[in-house]
Structure 1
């Protein structure tokens, strides 16, 4: 996804990187708001004083907690696997930019030995030793774990607790490493916060959709007329993923109205399908979900305290609503979702 005008969020993260590691950092926001684009742009610009270990769990294949732990490592046998291809360690030393590796480096032989049940303590010891060696040599290690919600289906509470307590050990206690965890799944972030007891130990950075001014600047970059920009914002709001697709398809010769109608139809059909399935399996919850939808008939946002907790969780898990940790508010994931919700409510009145 394209990086565009995230200077406020970027400055907040750079400020963290200029001070001693203190807290575990969560970067969260609605789906397709540009979280990964932000962190990728930032780490590509870091100086050689930093060493970045990047793991994207969506790109990994694991089926349990042990598999997850293994996938935090990048297998090496004399070679470090870089985020953008493979490169020998000596070659990476020639650049003035931060070295970026895919996972924590470890040889296949070592991993096989450490993952024997009696030796698993050495997993965390190895990571700690790497971070300590980096720090002792004047480097600042930065560990980024993207799409952390991929843990939710496979990883038990015990593994979550131990992993995040280890993160606290590296940051708040030993000050060895900066750790950033990325996700759009606010429910899983809250779950981790409760399981790992992160009160006072974690920092939360929201990467939201563009405001109207920024959305206009983005569309102007692609030579949208004022009329087309108004139309795109009226339907897509500041959802960067939708705006990027609009610029691509307009460039390919498609009418903007055709692009908007396509997204509207897909989104409304998807929400209707989920509602239909829910009505068949849980009629009471279906009624509660409709009551939540009614909060958005005349407003873009609602207070979490005004809506049913069970219905709210269902809609967040379904990717229809997004809840903000700081403001304790909830809103549709995108302007397209908001418009679809309002259209569904209209249709249900007849």
Structure 2
């Protein structure tokens, strides 16, 4: 769900105690299609100027790096060896060694990988994603060396990994959701929001933080709310119109599947009288397409689907009445 997960994580990183060492890897916008690409984004190659410090760090010394690090630090020659050998297990062994160095020196390593769905279908002797999660389980449940957080805005990816990677009982699923009504009211209370503005805000935007900030910064809040609603409605109308007139398709595994306009509309009409539906109440193609287009969101723990926001719900209810 698009509710500010990355901003929340960065906020938490800034407030961690000094005895935590963060390794943050953001895959957003990165093109990863093979082992070489994966290794490049996983590691931060240390140049000659810092090579001696990294050698000392592995003895271990925990104070040689910033409190938050974008990638796992690695000397250039070691990186090139991993790059040449193309053995993903070697990369895992190196990461484990680095994290153990911090752990044994009294620091608590925190490994954060943002937008992990980027490598969802990548294969290196089998699906890489399952090897990664087995490695994460080893780091946390078996060795107790680190805290590992995996972040994704792709709810179908989370649902798939949660069910297929055998993570039940081995991880905690944390939903970063929109604010509820009371939290929204409390958030807006200090920003000169009238009761009338509050009702308009909730009707059009619900508790989505990015929308609330836009309204707070707007001189005419009711006009801004209606503008966002009109924009959201137009986006949905255009998306459905394109499918109706030109068709569309999505990949499910290795199979290319046609998207059907009538089935999309039928799915969306369920939200006229309901705020959420069971994810197995609709056909798989429509479900995946609507989630992929950020119209719907799947909660893997409840097996329910709902619109991405109150704004999306309102737009759906308006559009399907005329679709």
Specify the TM-score bucket, using the shorter chain as the normaliser: 0.7 to 0.9
2:39–2:83: 8 Å Cα contact kept in structure 1?
A: no
- Counterpart among 155, 168, 171 of residue 140 in structure 2: 171
Matched with 2:252 is: none
Moved more, 114-123 or 316-325: 114-123
Instruction: Find the residue that maps to 1:277 and give its secondary structure.
Output: helix
| Aligned residue among 227, 243, 250 for 1:262 | 227
- Structure 1 residue 227 corresponds to structure 2 residue 202: no
The Cα shift of 1:299 comes to 2.1
Q: 2:271 aligns with which of 285, 292, 296?
A: 296
Unaligned runs of 5+ in 2: 52-56, 249-257
Find the counterpart in structure 2 of residue 113 from structure 1: 81
Distance 1:198-1:135 versus aligned 2 partners, 3 A rule: same
DSSP 3-state at the match of 1:288: helix
Displacement, 1:196?
3.1
Q: Does residue 241 in structure 1 map to residue 210 in structure 2? A: yes
Counterpart in the other structure of 2:241? 276
Instruction: Out of 310-319 and 66-75, give the one that drifted further.
Output: 66-75
Equivalent residue, structure 1, for 2:295: 320
Please point out which of 310, 315, 319 is paired with 1:340. 315
Correspondence list, 1:70-81, <5 A: 70-77=40-47, 78-79=49-50
SS state at 1:200 partner? coil
Q: Summarize the Cα distance change of 1:173–1:93 in structure 2 as closer, same or farther, 3 Å threshold.
A: closer
Kindly report structure 1 stretches of 4+ aligned residues shifted beyond 4 Å. 92-95, 153-157
Give the TM-score normalised by structure 1. Answer: 0.79
SS class of match (2:173) = strand
Whether the aligned pair in 1 keeps the contact of 2:121 and 2:129 (CA below 8 Å) is: no
| Structure 2 CA distance for partners of 1:297 and 1:111, relative to 1, 3 Å | same
Secondary structure, in 3 states, of the residue corresponding to 2:271? coil
Q: Separation in 1 of the partners of 2:198 and 2:306? A: 23
- Do the aligned partners of residues 118 and 260 (structure 1) sit closer, same or farther apart at CA in structure 2, a change above 3 Å counting? closer
Q: Is the 8 A contact 2:44 2:72 kept in 1?
A: yes
User: In structure 2, do the counterparts of structure 1 residues 284 and 317 end up closer, same or farther at CA, with 3 Å as the change threshold?
Assistant: closer
- Count of residue correspondences: 302
Distance of 1:257 and 1:342 partners within structure 2: 20
Which secondary structure does the structure 2 equivalent of 1:306 belong to? coil
Contact 1:323 1:331 in 2 (8 A): yes
Q: How does 1:88-107 map to 2 (within 5 A)?
A: 93=63, 99-107=67-75
Q: State the Cα distance separating 1:227 from its structure 2 match.
A: 1.3
User: Is the contact between residue 160 and residue 195 of structure 1 (CA under 8 Å) also seen in structure 2?
Assistant: no
Superposed CA RMSD: 2.5
1:172–1:298 Cα change, 3 Å: same
Q: TM-score, normalised by structure 2?
A: 0.85
Distance of 1:153 and 1:258 partners within structure 2:
43
Match of 1:263, SS state, is helix
Aligned with 2:172: secondary structure?
strand
Report the alpha carbon displacement of residue 101 of structure 1 after superposing the two structures with TM.
0.9
Greater RCO, CA 8 A, separation 6+: 1
CA–CA separation in structure 1 for the residues paired with 2:157 and 2:83: 26
* Aligned residue in 1 for 2:20: 50
Residue deviations 1:161-209, cap 9 Å, x none? 2222211221122111110001121111123335533333222111110
Which of 149, 173, 183 in structure 2 is aligned with 1:180?
A: 149
Mark the CA change 1:303 to 1:118 in structure 2 (over 3 Å): closer, same or farther.
Answer: closer
Distance in structure 2 (CA, Å) of the matches to 1:292 and 1:168: 37
Worse-superposed segment, 270-279 or 328-337: 270-279
Distance 1:94 1:120 in 2: 26
User: What residue number does 1:85 align with?
Assistant: none
SS of the residue corresponding to residue 75 of structure 1 reads strand
